[in-house]
Amino acid sequence: MFTKVLVANRGEIAVRILRTLRELGLRSVAVYSDADRTAPHVRLADEAVNIGPAPSAQSYLLSERLIDACRRTGAQAVHPGYGFLSEKPQFAQACRDAGLVFIGPDPSAMIAMGSKTAARERMIAAGVPVVPGIQSAGSVEELAREAERIGFPVMLKAANGGGGKGMRLVEKASDLAAAYERARSEALSAFGDDAVYLEKAVIRPRHVEIQVLGDQHGNTVHYFERDCSIQRRHQKVVEETPSPAALATPELIAEMGEVAVRAAKAVGYYSAGTCEFLLSETGEFYFLEMNTRLQVEHPVTELITQTDLVAEMVRIAQGEKLGYAQEHVRRHGHAIQCRIYAEDPATNFMPSPGRIDTLRVPAGPGIRDDSGAYEGYEVSSFYDPLISKLCVWAQDRPRAVAKMRRALSEYVVTGIKTNLPFHLALFGQPDFVRGAYDTGFIERHKEALLVGGHVDAGDGDAMTLGAAIAQALRDHESSKGGAKPAHANGHAASGMSPWRMGGLARLR
């Protein structure tokens, strides 16, 4: 049992973890770079430790500084969140070697699932269906022979990466050599390893993942599926559960869940993890990879199952048993998540760092906004530009879609560009509203979704409402004698930020 936990992350995921720690009665330690000194996660924690300059390579990615922060504060456990060092078995092992509890899986399981090619081999041995392909190749000629055998189109993928980097779709043999070199170069740049592998490209698939949770006593269950098919450049943009795919019947999801549990048990996996699958147009599903951490989109699973997955991870890390079986895991209703980014849809989604002048977050029944920002917050160019994860829950999908459309129309951000117009346009698309989409949806509908960076016709009322709210707020400030001056820490002098009302963490 431990009493103090260090959160080795930043932004909205650090805030989300810190809230659960407080509910559990555990003391918390935040870490922050120079750029994050006034960030919400720093203010929410009981203590906070500076770990270096703004670049993540000089701060959040330095395991020795994180472990030193544990020593300085007496933290006995570390929650890595997602990103940064969350899937690095070396960091998990370093925590163990330092006498700390790593709130995540065993390093051996992370190693087994960390390499996509090694994971494919383990899954094949465990009887888990995988996409046909070749695990490794010594030359482009070997890849070409395998591509001809399984048939084009094929997909090249980085063996030790993710997030769409090092991936290339190859539709004909004459394009293979050039795509191979580009994939290797990108994989080396992003992951320090140029190994790539080849697999059959599944045409118009759904990207469906299964949340699993296991304890250290061999008990494993799944928490149903999440449909993550709305993607841009292989990066997820919107996630929902249950999947609206016609083929995603309760029987098929139960089968996918059983396969995911089998995959987790094959590597002795415990804690929270996610098995990702491709679901074909004809109903076959294939294992892609396992993410050995908490997923960005975990809130939608929490909403439909009323389960705090972070709390479950803490219980498991303390050696507790799950205490329930698969039949006890129930779900109700429908949940959707939109990732709200500081990026400009009109300029190919380029990041839009800067100061948030106005921030008004939607509220009401069934609304959840996991955020790492506030009014006056400076969105840094050093990190992922995620502002928040806007989630809704309703009794069924039509009502969830309507609720998300309403929530997006109320969301007001000024001072920076955001992808809110894109989301509003998406939720006005008839095919999306019907649930008739796949991983290529955004590319096929980009003209309708990205008309000059504005919402397409049909959702003008929603944008008008948001613009009206923003103008009303500006008029209100003007009527009081102009905008309030800002403190040096970036907050308005009025002190209305909720993060200022809660008191400051003890900075180290």
pLDDT top residue among 470 and 80: 80
pLDDT top residue among 468 and 431: 431
- Per-residue pLDDT, averaged over 103-108, amounts to 98
* Residue whose token pair is 């500081």: 342
Cα–Cα nearest to 105, from 118, 87, 119: 87
Q: Annotated catalytic, 293?
A: yes
Measured in degrees and rounded to the nearest 5, phi and psi for residue 177 equal: -60, -45
Q: Which CATH class is domain 206-456?
A: alpha beta
Whether the predicted pLDDT of 364 surpasses 80:
yes
Q: Computed from CA positions of residues 168, 117, 290, 162, in that sequence, does the dihedral angle turn out positive or negative?
A: negative
pLDDT top residue among 135 and 366: 366
CATH classification of 4-103, choosing from 3.40.50.300, 3.40.630.30, 3.40.50.20, 3.10.20.340? 3.40.50.20
DSSP category for residue 396? S
Q: Give me 106's structure tokens.
A: 């065993």
Q: Give me 420's structure tokens.
A: 């809110």
pLDDT top residue among 16 and 114: 16
pLDDT digits 0-9 by tens, 77-96: 999 999 999 999 999 999 99
Q: Which CATH class is domain 132-200?
A: alpha beta
Q: Give me 435's structure tokens.
A: 């649930």
For residue 121, what is the enclosing H or E element?
A: helix 116-125
CA distance 187 to 191: 6
Q: What percent of the chain lies above the pLDDT cut of 90?
A: 73
Per annotation, catalytic residue among 10, 226, 232, 293: 293
Cα–Cα nearest to 228, from 157, 279, 287, 272: 279
* Residue whose token pair is 């997923």: 295
pLDDT digits 0-9 by tens, 181-207: 999 898 888 888 888 888 888 889 999
Task: Name the pTM for this structure.
Answer: 0.84
- Do the domains at 4-103 and 206-456 have one common CATH topology? no
Whether the predicted pLDDT of 504 surpasses 80:
no
pLDDT for 252: 97
**Which one-letter amino acid corresponds to residue 404?**
M
Q: In the structure, what pLDDT confidence band is assigned to residue 163 with cuts at 50, 70 and 90?
A: low
pLDDT top residue among 23 and 489: 23
Domain ranges of the chain: 4-103, 132-200, 206-456, 462-501
